[in-house]
Amino acid sequence: MRFLIAGAGAIGGYIGAMMARAGQDVTLFARGAHLRAMQQNGLKVLSAEGDFEARPRIIASLEEAGDVDVIVLGVKAHGLTTLAPRLKPLIREHTTVVSTQNGLPWWYFHIGAGEFSGIHLERVDPGGVVNASIPPGQVVASIVYLGTGIVEPGVIRHTEGNRISLGEPDGSRSERCRAIAGALIQAGLRCPVTTRIRHEIWVKLLGNVAFNPISALTRATLAAMARHPEVCPVARNIMSEVEAVAAKLGIELPISIDQRIAGAEKVGEHKTSMLQDLEAGRPMELEAVVGAVAELGERLSVPMPHTRTVYACARLLETTLAQRRAH
């Protein structure tokens, strides 16, 4: 299979490097200094599991990609609005698109959603641009459990995790999921295929909607938030609201809120992806992770006062920082 990593940043670059090291046909699309460094020197991965260098094919323009079988979307959720229309010419009948974004994915209510089909969430897909560019039937869902970061252009540090869950959005079993999983496993990643990818999305959301914006506001790690006597109840209340939204959709979560909080504490002094983005001066995935669930709660008449309060404060923080950067 021919793979294209569309957005070879920390996550996409790491996946691409692993695949290239395993001798697979993978092309990485990147931009800026990271692109130039990879073109000149290849891609270096620093990891407790062993440092290595890989030299996958690197492109600066999607027009150079050629015919590919699998496109892995490696950009953040808010980057899809720009990327998706540019991918449209590459998506042929045989092409599978793997979504890796945090939060509620744009395809969620366009395939496999049953009675809730057709709900459009503006905070997930402004103007419906992504859905118009990527046919939902060609999407395979994934949830990424990797800790990676770009140390300098062309160098990625892998800190934790090597699992990527795959699943069909409608919960069916498919040969394309098995084939993609096989390629990722051969590259050294754990890649279970699940028929309950929607449940897994909500398990991740349960923690992310609560901990990510609180971490951005407080600069606290997961363990610090889980142990704090006043912050932990706030996170618990947000989780209860998220759980109520999931229940309205017919999703019964396989773990309890207590288990989710205990899991966060066990991870330890880890900074959420939202806090990492904030500290690096990058836009946060606030809308796809928190805003989308708040919007959905409103559509489903689920009160979410705690979620909305923290969301509003995080939005103001992002606006304030964006204004400072502009000046």
Q: Based on the fold, state whether residues 126 and 108 are members of the same structural domain.
A: yes
- Among 174, 195, 216, give the residue marking a domain's end: 195
- pLDDT grade for 29, boundaries at 50, 70 and 90: very high
The radius of gyration of the chain's CA atoms, rounded to the nearest angstrom, is 19
Give yes or no for residue 143 having a pLDDT over 90. yes
Average pLDDT, the chain: 95
Q: Based on the fold, state whether residues 182 and 277 are members of the same structural domain.
A: no
Q: What is the pLDDT of residue 160?
A: 86
- Among 140, 173, 195, give the residue marking a domain's end: 195
- pLDDT grade for 67, boundaries at 50, 70 and 90: very high
Q: What is the pLDDT of residue 211?
A: 97
Q: Based on the fold, state whether residues 105 and 159 are members of the same structural domain.
A: yes
Range of the domain at 264: 198-326
Return the SS3 of 139.
strand
pLDDT tens-digit profile of 73-107?
999 999 999 999 999 999 999 999 999 999 999 99
Residues 45/14, Cβ–Cβ less than 8 Å: yes
For 279: left if phi > 0, alpha if psi spans -120 to 50, otherwise beta; the answer is alpha
Q: What is the pLDDT of residue 270?
A: 86
Tell me, what amino acid is at 38? M
Give yes or no for residue 327 having a pLDDT over 90. no
Give yes or no for residue 176 having a pLDDT over 90. yes
CA-CA-CA-CA torsion sign (239, 242, 247, 250): negative
Q: What is the pLDDT of residue 178?
A: 97
- pLDDT grade for 324, boundaries at 50, 70 and 90: confident
Q: Based on the fold, state whether residues 40 and 167 are members of the same structural domain.
A: yes
Q: Based on the fold, state whether residues 129 and 206 are members of the same structural domain.
A: no
Q: Based on the fold, state whether residues 166 and 215 are members of the same structural domain.
A: no
Q: What is the pLDDT of residue 136?
A: 92
- Catalytic residue numbers read 204
- Among 165, 195, 225, give the residue marking a domain's end: 195
Q: What is the pLDDT of residue 268?
A: 87
Give yes or no for residue 112 having a pLDDT over 90. no
pLDDT tens-digit profile of 264-320?
999 888 889 899 899 988 899 999 999 999 999 999 999 999 999 999 999 999 999
Q: Based on the fold, state whether residues 73 and 170 are members of the same structural domain.
A: yes
* Domain count within the chain: 2
Q: What is the mean pLDDT of residues 192-202?
A: 96
Q: Are strands 25-29 and 2-6 parallel, antiparallel or unpaired?
A: parallel
Q: What is the mean pLDDT of residues 149-167?
A: 94
CA-CA-CA-CA torsion sign (219, 222, 225, 227): negative
pLDDT tens-digit profile of 213-225?
999 999 999 999 9
Q: Based on the fold, state whether residues 132 and 211 are members of the same structural domain.
A: no
Q: What is the mean pLDDT of residues 250-255?
A: 94
Q: What is the mean pLDDT of residues 161-180?
A: 96
Give yes or no for residue 256 having a pLDDT over 90. yes
What gap in Å lies between CA 77 and CA 105, rounded to an integer?
8
